């Protein structure tokens, strides 16, 4: 569609920081019950553990936690209490683990939010996860609904102290629906609602009017932006939020049952008394909330604790009902939706060719095309641009979906060994078709000199095959495809991308086929291209913007061509071999490549480490693209994403095949490095 400036935009969705946090984390244990429920698309409700560690005295804390889990089960959902036990994040506790954690004199737990997580895990400590800590974990493992008592917020006097709970910022970035009795009464409710609005968090009062509850009491004097009446309605909103990839949390505020509600004037007086005492004692930071809740309990002779328990159970029941309705809406079935829900990281969809490659690196000084034998060393590997990108993404730790075809022949059986096992589900095996094969001839310096291939099978990635996978494509934050596909198939992909508002990255693959998608009606869905210089020229010629003059060097030429072509494609990433990569776009290097903020055109050249000994350059561009894709989907800036891409390319040129045997995980410095660049425009 057209923005106000006439520039094509793709929906204005904030697709920035998706894969951070626990996507790099290897100390998480999901119970068999919870894992099985998620894999079978059964309803699951996340529960926090500060209710056990910091909310109530032992053993009442354990009794309440177990009763809350039973409430969830009674509505047909599976409870998933989140906690840290001896440095391992646990999702789903058994009764013995709950009891051991609840005996706080022995377990000595730390109240754990996002800020505290690394310390608690690294020190092998026990931790009770707060709302923000629980949301972080729930989002990672794919639990969409979370029940708690009340969330944190802006503390009274927060305009001076800047004391704002991490719960609010986590709600702004974790795709989890939180069911709570509003915010704790000890907080500044109006300012908390304002802060949630700033964070883009959907807030609704549940099962009544728009009165926003205040934990102990049913009304806070504030109005929620929306009112939701039923679990089914809430589930439909959550389902839509997730399909739109908004990547922000939602808050459903459920008033405490009237039988247990406290009068506003009574509880407000008690809170003021507790606040004054906290001030006298110098209590602050993360200790203020448990202190106030404990003191309020003492002043009210246990009445507030009774209310607290009642509202937690009521919220758990409501959350379970919502989770049950939400599970009904996830109609993809276990084989499709469970995989996407269990790991909530985004899954780019990669579509294109899979080949069995035989590369021959010649040992002779000069290649003669006169029929003689050129002696060299051969290597059989997986190939095909799309397949290369998939293997590289897997080795970079970026989850994705792969759509391709192979033949039911010996070559196809060999090729399966070069396709990551997680990607084989949507690779179709065709009878009576040759698996794609390519012979790559490299000179003694590793430069590609000649290719010969049997690629006819790629034409059998048909429009019908693409439409079969529409449901998984619709959930993707990015579609990547190569030019091995037929024009009707490319048309279908681009049409789906436009319909579902998904940006597309096109890898031109080869000079001759680099303009294929631009011959279709829906080419405007393409937001990224990754051509080499020859492919860049061909695409520019297609659009009639190829300059006629000659340039002193190819960098000058790329700047001239890209500055014209960027009016048709938002982001142009040109691979230059030893000269690195040039990025042309209307955006700063410090911004995500997925952001479309407009502004003036900027062109930057990034040059990687030239010290790596070149074994083969085959596949270097594919690995560069994979690194950039993985980085931008991880929420990195342009300069950080290019750092990952250049590092992946450097690993590649030092290896014999198109994808090196091993790349690097997200603990590698490349993920935290800003690649150096020079500004060309």
> Which of the residues are catalytic?
48, 184
Q: Hey, what's the torsion of the CAs at 242, 243, 248, 253, to 10 degrees? A: -50
Return the sign of the alpha-carbon dihedral for residues 650, 629, 18, 320.
Answer: negative
Q: Are 89 and 48 in contact (CB under 8 A)?
A: no
Annotate 615-660 with DSSP letters as a single string.
S--TTHHHHHHHHHHHHHHTT--HHHHHHHHHHHHHHHHTSSSSS-
Q: Are 643 and 604 in contact (CB under 8 A)?
A: no
Q: What's the CA gap between 272 and 139, in Å, rounded? A: 36
Question: SS3 for 189-213, per residue?
Answer: HHHHHHHHHHCCCEEEEECCCCECC
| Number of C-beta neighbours around residue 467 at 10 A | 14
Q: What's the CA gap between 432 and 420, in Å, rounded? A: 24
Residue matched to tokens 């704002």: 164
Q: Are 435 and 406 in contact (CB under 8 A)?
A: yes
Q: What's the CA gap between 653 and 620, in Å, rounded? A: 6
3-state secondary structure of 35: helix
Q: Are 647 and 581 in contact (CB under 8 A)?
A: no
3-state secondary structure of 545: coil
Bridge partners of 214, per DSSP, are 182, 217
Residue 363 burial class via C-beta count within 10 angstroms: exposed 0-12, middle 13-18, buried 19 and up: exposed
Annotate 280-322 with DSSP letters as a single string.
HHT--GGGHHHHHHHHHHHHTTTHHHHHHHHHHHHHHHHHHHH
Q: What's the CA gap between 382 and 659, in Å, rounded? A: 8
Cβ-Cβ contacts under 8 Å for 40 (sequence gap 6 or more): 334, 338
Name the helix (H) or strand (E) containing 344: none
Q: Is the peptide bond before 59 cis (omega within 30 degrees of 0)?
A: yes
Q: What's the CA gap between 416 and 592, in Å, rounded? A: 34
Q: What's the CA gap between 69 and 343, in Å, rounded? A: 23
Helix, strand and coil in the chain, % to nearest 5? 45, 20, 35
Cβ-Cβ contacts under 8 Å for 501 (sequence gap 6 or more): 10, 11, 13
Q: What's the CA gap between 429 and 562, in Å, rounded? A: 39
3-state secondary structure of 396: coil
Phi-psi region at 577: left, alpha or beta (left = phi > 0; alpha = psi -120 to 50):
left
């Amino acid at each position: 569609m057209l923005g106000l400036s006439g520039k094509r935009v793709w929906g204005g969705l904030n697709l920035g920081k998706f894969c951070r946090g626990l996507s790099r984390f290897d100390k998480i244990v999901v119970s068999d019950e919870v894992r099985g429920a998620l894999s079978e698309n059964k309803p699951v409700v996340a529960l926090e553990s500060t209710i056990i560690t910091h909310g109530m005295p032992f053993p009442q804390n354990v009794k309440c936690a177990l009763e809350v889990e039973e409430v969830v089960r009674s509505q047909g959902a599976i409870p998933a209490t989140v906690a840290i036990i001896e440095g391992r994040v646990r999702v789903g506790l058994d009764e013995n683990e709950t009891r051991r954690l609840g005996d706080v004199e022995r377990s000595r737990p730390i109240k754990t939010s996002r800020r505290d997580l690394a310390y608690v895990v690294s020190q092998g400590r026990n931790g009770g996860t707060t709302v923000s800590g629980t949301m972080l974990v729930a989002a990672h493992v794919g639990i969409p609904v979370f029940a708690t008592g009340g969330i944190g917020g802006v503390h009274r006097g927060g305009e001076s102290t800047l004391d704002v709970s991490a719960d609010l910022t986590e709600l702004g970035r974790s795709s989890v629906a939180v069911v709570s009795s509003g915010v704790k009464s000890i907080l500044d409710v109006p300012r908390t609602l304002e802060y949630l609005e700033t964070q883009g968090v959907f807030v609704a009062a549940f099962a009544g009017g728009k009165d926003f509850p205040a934990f102990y009491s049913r009304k806070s004097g504030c109005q929620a932006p929306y009112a939701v009446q039923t679990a089914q309605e809430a589930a439909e909103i959550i389902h839509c939020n997730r399909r739109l990839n908004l990547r922000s949390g939602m808050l459903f505020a459920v008033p405490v049952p009237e039988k247990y509600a406290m009068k506003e004037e009574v509880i407000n007086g008690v809170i003021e008394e507790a606040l004054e005492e906290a001030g006298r004692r110098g209590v602050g930071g993360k200790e203020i909330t448990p202190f106030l809740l404990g003191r309020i309990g003492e002043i009210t002779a246990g009445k507030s604790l009774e209310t607290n328990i009642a509202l937690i159970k009521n919220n758990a029941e409501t959350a379970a009902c919502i989770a049950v309705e939400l599970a009904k809406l996830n109609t993809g079935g276990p084989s499709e939706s469970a995989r996407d829900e269990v790991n909530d990281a985004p899954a780019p969809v990669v579509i294109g060719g899979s080949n069995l490659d035989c590369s021959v690196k010649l040992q002779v000084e000069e290649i003669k095309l006169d029929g003689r034998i050129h002696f060299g060393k051969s290597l059989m590997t997986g190939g095909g641009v799309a397949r290369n990108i998939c293997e590289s993404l897997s080795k970079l730790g970026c989850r994705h979906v792969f759509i391709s075809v192979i033949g039911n022949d010996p070559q196809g059986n060999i090729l399966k060994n070069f396709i990551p096992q997680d990607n084989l589900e949507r690779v179709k095996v065709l009878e009576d078709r040759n698996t794609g094969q390519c012979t790559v001839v490299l000179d003694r310096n590793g430069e590609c000199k000649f290719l010969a291939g049997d690629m006819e099978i790629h034409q059998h990635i048909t429009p019908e095959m693409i439409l079969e996978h529409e449901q998984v494509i619709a959930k993707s934050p990015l579609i990547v495809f190569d030019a091995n596909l037929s024009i009707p198939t490319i048309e279908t992909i681009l049409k789906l991308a436009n319909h579902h508002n998904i940006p597309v990255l096109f890898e031109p693959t080869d000079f001759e086929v680099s303009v294929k998608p631009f011959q279709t009606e829906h080419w405007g869905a393409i937001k990224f291209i990754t051509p080499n210089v020859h492919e860049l020229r061909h695409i520019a010629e297609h659009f009639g913007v190829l300059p006629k003059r000659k340039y002193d060097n190819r960098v000058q030429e790329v700047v001239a061509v890209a500055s014209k072509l960027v009016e048709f494609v938002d982001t142009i990433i040109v691979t230059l071999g030893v000269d690195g990569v040039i990025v042309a776009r209307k955006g700063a290097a410090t911004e995500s490549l997925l952001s479309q903020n407009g502004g003036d055109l900027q062109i930057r050249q990034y040059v990687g480490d030239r010290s790596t000994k070149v074994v083969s350059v085959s596949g270097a561009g594919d690995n560069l693209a994979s690194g950039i894709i993985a980085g931008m989907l991880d929420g990195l800036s342009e300069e950080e994403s290019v750092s990952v891409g250049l590092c992946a390319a450097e690993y590649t040129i030092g290896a014999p095949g198109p994808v090196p045997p091993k790349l690097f995980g997200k603990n590698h410095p490349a993920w935290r490095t800003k690649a150096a660049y020079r500004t060309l425009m």
